[in-house]
Structure 1
Amino acid sequence: MTNQPDDLLAAVHDACTDLIRAGKPVTFAAVTERTQISRTTLYRRRDLRQLVEQHRDPAGEILTLTSLAIQLDQLRQSLDAVAANVRRHEEDLRALKRTERAS
């Protein structure tokens, strides 16, 4: 197996799918055994870890560190967008007040 990112993703996806079809639990150890990708790599690479965790919990009911980190990133981005919008509105209000005072 090559170590190209897409190849690793495909191998992990296939291993997870095979485990589910066989009625076996999707674990990092089982994925490692089927793919020969080290557990260290599965844990360190966020995309691979997330893929395994998604297959472990297809309904998305279990909160994992990865899913929490992703949710925090999304919330942080949303908050940054809201803060930027507030700053823009504050600048608009200051400009309007300056215009009113000059009139």
Structure 2
Amino acid sequence: MTSTTLHQIERACADLARNGHAITIAAVAEHAGISRSTIYRNPTLRAIIEHHQQTTPDGSITALTDELATLRQAVQTLADTVRHHDAQLRRLTSG
């Protein structure tokens, strides 16, 4: 197994996850242009795929809604902090 093969498997898993596709050995093999038997025979390649299967975020509407709410709160907190710092700078430079 070469580092190119590892890179192809990693890239295929990332691409499939980003595009909302299931990460299966068949899908990864097809996307990477590698035979399924190569993946099945190599425990390292299988481990990479299994890792990506476990860490791929839930794509459900509920999970996306929760993530969006979290991001909105983070942006609001950041905006509040910027406004606070801006006010402090105005006070410091005006007097």
Normalized against structure 1, the TM-score is what?
0.51
Percent identity at matched positions?
Answer: 39
SS of match in other structure, 2:55: coil
The match for 2:29 is 32
The match for 2:43 is 46
Mind listing any 5+ residue stretches in structure 2 that lack a counterpart?
Answer: 57-95
Output the CA distance in 2 between the equivalents of 1:35 and 1:14.
Answer: 8
1:14 to 11, 14, 33: 11
Output the CA distance in 1 between the equivalents of 2:8 and 2:15.
Answer: 10
Task: Write the mapping of 1:1-103 to structure 2, written as runs, cut at 5 A.
Answer: 5-58=2-55
Query: Which structure has the larger Rg?
Result: 1
| CA deviation map 1:9-67 (0-9, x unaligned) | 000000000000001110011111111111111011111010011111117xxxxxxxx
CA RMSD of aligned residues (A): 1.3
**What stretches of structure 1 move > 4 A for 4+ residues in a row?**
none
* Relative contact order, higher structure (CA 8 A, sep 6+): 2
Output the CA distance in 2 between the equivalents of 1:56 and 1:6.
Answer: 21
